[in-house]
Amino acid sequence: MDFGLPTQIAYPAIISLTFPFTLLLVTRLGALRSRNAAQFLAAVLLQGFVWILGSLALPDSYRPIHFSDWLFTAMLVASSFLFYLEVWALLSRGYTLSMLLTLLRAARPLSGEEIARQYRGGAGLDWIMRHRVGGLEAAGLVWADGRQLALTRPLGMLIAVAYRIAITIFGLRRTG
């Protein structure tokens, strides 16, 4: 294979490396405050827009010209966004990380019950249940029937079946 570095790699690399700064700016927007998913999406859209605009304006040797060049640079930029998404999801939704932070903020060792009680700044573990079920309801995957949770059909059931197939393919013994 040819190991020569394509010159079209330079601009997507800059876009990828500067993404954390764009995300930092977006988090300072009052309208998106505390909306972590929306903040990330807005930063991706903004950075994606800058990438396309720059790609059209760069000199020929640095910009994608053919469809194959656009595909290559788009994959490069998308890969960096996926990497940052993993980190962002961990920071903003990480269950285990939140337990570590509970221990960090405690002045002494905590029992399992104390971690559960002090979880998420004192909101407690049942916050997770409310938060996740709220998300599932908003997505139309479950519905609350009195004190019972019920799976919607066909959407909820479809996702559950797809999830079961994914567990089988990956060979996972335990999930969640």
Partner 1 sequence: MTAIEFATGGVWFMLYAFATCLAVRLSPDRSPAVLVIALACLFTLASLPAGALAPVEGNYWRALTAFTFLTLCHLIIFGITYKSISLRILLDLSQAPSTRLPADLVFSRYIERESFAARIQVMTTQGLASHSLDGITLTPKGHRLAASAELLQRLYDIQISG
Interface positions, 66-105, toward partner 1 (CB under 8 A)? 68-69, 71-72, 75-76, 78-79, 82-83, 85-86, 89, 91-101, 103-104
Joined tokens for residue 145: 């029937």
Does 24 bind partner 1 (CB under 8 A)? Our answer is: yes
Residue 149: enclosing H or E segment and its boundaries?
strand 148-151
For the bound state, the minimum distance from the C-beta of residue 26 to partner 1, rounded and expressed in Å, comes to: 9
Q: Which is nearer to partner 1, 49 or 83 (CB)?
A: 83
Q: What CA–CA distance (Å, rounded) separates 106 from 109?
A: 7
For the bound state, the minimum distance from the C-beta of residue 103 to partner 1, rounded and expressed in Å, comes to: 5
Does 131 bind partner 1 (CB under 8 A)? Our answer is: yes
Contact 48, 55 (CB under 8 A): no
Q: What CA–CA distance (Å, rounded) separates 85 from 97?
A: 16
Residues 29-48 that bind partner 1 (CB under 8 A): 33-34, 36
Nearest to 99 by CA among 58, 80, 127: 127
Q: What CA–CA distance (Å, rounded) separates 144 from 127?
A: 17
Tally of residues, the chain: 176
For the bound state, the minimum distance from the C-beta of residue 126 to partner 1, rounded and expressed in Å, comes to: 6
Interaction mask 136-165, partner 1, x per CB under 8 A: x----xx-xx-xxxxx-x--xx-xxx-xx-
DSSP 3-state of 14 = helix
For the bound state, the minimum distance from the C-beta of residue 42 to partner 1, rounded and expressed in Å, comes to: 13
Joined tokens for residue 35: 């909306």
Does 176 bind partner 1 (CB under 8 A)? Our answer is: yes
Q: Which is nearer to partner 1, 56 or 111 (CB)?
A: 111
